[in-house]
Amino acid sequence: GEARVNEGEARELGLVGKLKRVLLWLLVVYVSIPVIIKLCPSIQAKLVFLNFVRLPYFIDLKRPLDQGLNHTHNFYLEPETGLKIGVWHTVPAQMWREAQGKQGDWYDSMLTSTHPLILYLHGNAGTRGGDHRVQLYKVLSSLGYHVVAFDYRGWGDSDGSPSEGGMTSDALFIYDWLKQRLDTKTPIYIWGHSLGTGVATNLVRRLCDRGSPPGALILESPFTNIREEAKSHPFSMVYRYLPGFDWIFLDAITANNIRFASDENVNHISCPVLILHAEDDSVVPFHLGKKLYNMASQSKSLSGHKVQFVPFSSSLAYKHKFIYRSPELPNILRYDCEYLKFYCKSTDRNL
């Protein structure tokens, strides 16, 4: 009996020892991460962009057909000499039959049609071929839009390294490239998702500063600025209340010249704004989208322009990237387009 007791005690002590070693390792990791980030702030930039996460893996971005896009052309542009970025152009769904077997020249010629165009700016991680992105292209295409999506420098099969300035420059280059090919009366709508909303407000601010605002700005799951988003992100939860959190983590982001200050940008934007946000979004919390809307609705530069916020109930489970599933989305976009047409006519202003 005594031998059994000793054996049981030994097992218990062994388990306690293993638990202590696991806890010690967790403590070492917990302490090491802030130290490493403070010493190497470039790591924090990689965590913001996550461009090295190329989900889904093993897809050929040269073949959008493999993702179910049988009316999409893949091509490459050079925003800077020697820097190539990958682009997809999806024509309106009613053109799909005519699109079969067509090359780039045909797709370019279709830009002169009267169909409006959406320039899509994706968020961090993944590529222009990400599943939820592809599903949105299909929805927008079915509604009669041209959709142009691309991978910023450093993403997908595009050259270069990521930076906020580079992402914004690429978006501006694509916008200008499209503007040269579209009919002057054909509107371009800028659609940004998640981190792409920061790129979108940067882009639209630049366009408004030079007196050529787009038809509208659509922000899906937006945040106010990158510091507030980083503080609200689930990954920061274990460090959020750590003394010096801002100094260690947020200052490292700023040190990389990453701001994505949409809250500042809305004070320099002068075009209609539509914000879409799911209440159960855990990546970019709903309250940040609502806060940005409140700022936009009080912006002097947006006075006289429609600023709309559309929430999606938690019961719908759209979370961070499934708003495209909403059966109401076509009605929301159609309503806004009708408004834009009226706005254009009533102000005698070309979009």
Q: Which position has the token pair 């916008």?
A: 175
Query: Hey, how many other C-beta atoms are within 10 angstroms of the C-beta on 97?
Result: 9
Strands (E), 43-139: 72-80, 83-90, 117-121
Is 277 designated active site? no
Tell me which of 115, 233, 320, 336 is the catalytic residue: 320
Tokens representing residue 216 in the block: 């509208």
Query: Hey, how many other C-beta atoms are within 10 angstroms of the C-beta on 144?
Result: 17
Tell me which of 158, 194, 221, 262 is the catalytic residue: 194
Cα radius of gyration (the chain) = 24
Residue 101, φ and ψ in degrees, nearest 5 = 80, 5
**Hey, what amino acid is at 288?**
L
DSSP H or E segment with residue 217: strand 216-220
For residue 100, count CB atoms less than 10 angstroms from its CB and return exposed for 0-12, middle for 13-18, buried for 19 or more: exposed
Tell me which of 151, 170, 263, 281 is the catalytic residue: 281
Strand partners, 88: 74, 149
Is 158 designated active site? no
Is 320 designated active site? yes
Please state whether beta strands 83-90 and 117-121 pair in parallel, antiparallel, or not at all (unpaired): unpaired
* Cα–Cα distance measured from residue 329 to residue 92, given in angstroms and rounded to the nearest whole number: 17
* Cα–Cα distance measured from residue 168 to residue 187, given in angstroms and rounded to the nearest whole number: 20
* Cα–Cα distance measured from residue 173 to residue 175, given in angstroms and rounded to the nearest whole number: 5
Q: Which residues are catalytic?
A: 194, 281, 320
